[in-house]
Structure 1
């Protein structure tokens, strides 16, 4: 059939029949070309879809008067990716480069067979989740399990009614920022921090103010200086394994930030997306506060799959209704099947086994990466408490731009320090993902 279709299409494009001319009937064409009636019917139908023929009921098939829509010419060379280093890192084809500056785990670390079995179980148990909208606030059984998960993991009593599921932590941050911020609001963030968060705050009209991140948490002395000069609306802050330094959070630092939040009347938006990588009990703002002045954000995208956009937030009760309304306006609901999948792996212990295996690998890989880099003269501005990230620089390289460009030519992608800056000068720094590091890559870090 393809040969017949191709022949007729070529004749039409070559102008064998004039525009508006009637083609031979199906029976006549079948006889002329010694083709079956089914072959002619199928080919004519495809040519109508191509815009080369027009079907007129009771009259037959005619050469299209307007002709087919011209397809855009393919560029001789693929257009260059934008200069944004994060965009290049995200969009580089899988397997073509080593994404050493990325924020996710390597594919081999994810037990895809285990997850595939859980997906099949989910499909058998809850078929309605495949075709129906989910609960706008979030699948109730999942919110109940998330409540129990937080109670066990971070000693936080968050009722299911205080929880909202989201399309990853990104949507959770977006919902909170849209609701909280008005043009001109000053918003505290870690310095360095996730560059996309800075862009989001600016998009909502806020003015981000960086608070230096130390090994034990935010710099409280600097925070006092900012609060003495400015009224602040919120502090968006990592708790566990800060991005990009890998720093932790001590109870003293967490309590210090909370005390200032009460005194100066601002909200803490706690981004704890790397929390499940912590092998023991971890410190959070939400545990100390009990969701009075804290919105707690978590995610399963980092630990399970970047394409599985499932996150959640736990918040004060008075924020639930406005945030759910915003969620309805922007996305309606998280896909019900994804919510049921997470519920399945939380309920049967699959998720706990999965993250414990990741925790063990990360602890080993973090130590090996630190050792390899130190042996080559690299230093860390903050000693990582664990997790994926190292915030690294070399005393002989005051500007890493040339070094990073050289690595890119070798197929190794890093994110330069300025991608994590609010106002600080981080040209001498870069984020390295220890989970993607290897002895072979270590050779590229000789200076």
Structure 2
């Protein structure tokens, strides 16, 4: 590695391959005409990132929070989402301003041993996330089609070829697929909210923070679970890369405009994620809490949904949304895995090989645990995957905030001091809550 004091980055000898080089700057952006055309051109990366905020790993905490405490924890979901909006905006800024994704930035900024540790931590997080997606998809296939959990887990290996097919048609096809599944998820929960008809005043009141959240130990534990599972580490690597698929001018003016549009894109998309997560909790509160039913398992929610609502299709819509969520999450995990491996190690594997390796690592424990312990074992495995994600999060959040606050690395695009202070507060809060979640989960 050779030093570069002018930019604050250490750069390797030879030309640096851009992140996701096969689709780098492949999406045309019109710089003239209406702002609507430009917004549409930049829309896509934010929605791909938003998938991580509504994956099967988040469902358990939302269901538990709504069924046990009604609408009270809606405030926690809202605060979590606001923190996510800030961190994803920083991720997009890093990618556009420096031309590096977060993995490349870590490799160039830190000594090789540190970079290797960060890579291992991130790979563990991607495997843990993949584990949650395998379990969620397998449960959905079981609920909808009666496929045994082991069979459903094995079927999820086929998504490697789905991702390969979509990528071969262009990045916009991949984004369109993601958005289509997001529409299905949102539509399913919008229909369920309409069926449940929750009291509007109670829902709106839930968005106002309550002292109970802190004073009630059980409520605090679930609140920490919601906050801790909100920011997925691989999303920060993913976003810093896929914003570079846009064909903006690589000048200060072009980067400035790209940062603004990318921030708008991710903010709008994460508001959709807020709706979905809030909808899961609202449905749980209106259906389960209102009938005195405490729900902790996804299968339990599916079994109770239709009987309590009195609408036969309600449970089916719930399972369809879960299946769409699992499929969506696997696509983004695939890309994140490629970005991390290429960024940290410069190792380039065929997409199908990389996907099958990651998916095999996730499928094997699901099959073994299901064979030995049955469905209860997969529930514990789902919790374990969230613990692994919690352990990795500081290794992604802290470098991101460090880079985006450093004017030597970011130049004129370093974030202003007030935003930097807020970013450090958010990073510290997320790290502290994740550590507490980890300790509480391990201790019982």
Q: Scaled by the length of structure 2, what TM-score is found?
A: 0.28
Q: Which has the higher strand share?
A: 1
Of Structure 1 and Structure 2, the greater helix share is in 2
Give the TM-score, by structure 1 length.
Answer: 0.28
